[in-house]
Amino acid sequence: MAQEVVKPDEQVVLGEEIENIRVITLNRPRQLNVISSKVVSLLAKYLEKWEKDDKAELVIIKGVGRAFSAGGDLKMFYDGREPRDSCLEVVYRMYWLCYHIHTYKKTQVALVHGISMGGGASLMVPMKFSVVTEKTVFATPEATIGFHTDCGFSYMLSHLPGHLGEFIALTGARLNGKELVTVGLATHYVPSEKMPELEKRLMCLNSGDRNAVKSAIEEFSLDVKVDEESVLNKQSTINECFSKDSVEEIIKSFETEASKEGNAWIGPMLKSLKRSSPTGLKITLRSIREGRNQTLTESLKKEFRLTMNILRTTISNDVYEGIRALTIDKDNAPKWDPPTLDKVNGEKVDIVFQPFKDELELQIPEKEECRWDGKYEHSAYAQVTEEAK
């Protein structure tokens, strides 16, 4: 498995047990708390242990520094491009974990102060309670680097009002704390200076009773009203453009709207769309559209297939080129292949959506009594790896 660079004594995730409260702290502030293989393994270990612990009632998750979590460790993926499937284990474990976060039995509170993007936001949005501040910044910018909207977001974004999900996924548009609460991607808005006090209040509560936790948060939360220039006030334009059948039609419609008075906000969004990976855009649009008619489990299994096919460069090398341009060479000048939307072969896109053999799919347990089954170490992939040693 691809290994991220972590100092041997570095505690990337802290897990605390204080009476009936359990606290997870993402502890890689210099790396914006990115999610690595070690982070995924520790999160899974703590969450399973605490769900089975009768004394554990409330789980709080937070990040150190200016980020909650900036998402997956892109350098880990880039360094793991050879040999084949170096990152398969961390991908499998992460998507399996996403299902368990969505369906977790204990009360959870995410205290989200700062950057919360991509896979990092999958530790926020599904929580029973997710508290954001004026400094929270959310985005799912994966398509811009030749990847796709993953970690359950093809399901979550597709259920937003109208065609807001397609807009967020394709443009990488950022939402602030007030906007997140307004669209239902967070539950409460609390001023950042009140967050330490809120955390202290939750610790003193020493209970996972949902009504009690909700009341405690509401002692500090404010009602929200989005700013006049918010993209949420552009819903009719977004619906008009992002309801189109193809990425090409979406861009053409968006260009038409951009020429109208009062639509200067579209310019930066169009620029982002046109700079993004054509292959990434086409895969992302289809995935979001499919997510609208899928269950969470179906969406996660689909995302696993897409991720593995993308990392295997089944139809394009764009993801590694996108990471190179953004974080390795930092020239912000990716050379996409193919370079334009009209050159992306629809039949090739079909390939990355094809189901795997049953034993090679993401194994998400169907029976409640077996809900922690399906771990990577019991999968067909782990058996193959073991036999190869």
* Contacts for 248 with CB less than 8 Å, ≥ 6 apart: 341, 342
Closest CA to 247 of 276, 220, 225: 276
- Active-site residue (options: 63, 119, 165, 280): 119
Sign of CA dihedral 111, 112, 113, 119: positive
Known catalytic membership, residue 119 = yes
Known catalytic membership, residue 82 = no
Closest CA to 41 of 6, 105, 90, 78: 90
Residue owning tokens 């991720």: 307
Known catalytic membership, residue 361 = no
- Active-site residue (options: 4, 73, 89, 142): 142
d(CA 340, CA 208): 51
Type of residue at 318: D
Please work out, in degrees rounded to the nearest 5, the angle formed at the alpha carbon of residue 38 by the alpha carbons of 14 and 64: 40
- Active-site residue (options: 63, 72, 280, 322): 72
* Contacts for 262 with CB less than 8 Å, ≥ 6 apart: none
d(CA 300, CA 98): 8
- Active-site residue (options: 150, 166, 303, 318): 150
Phi/psi of residue 108, nearest 5 degrees: -125, 145
Catalogue the active-site residues: 72, 119, 142, 150
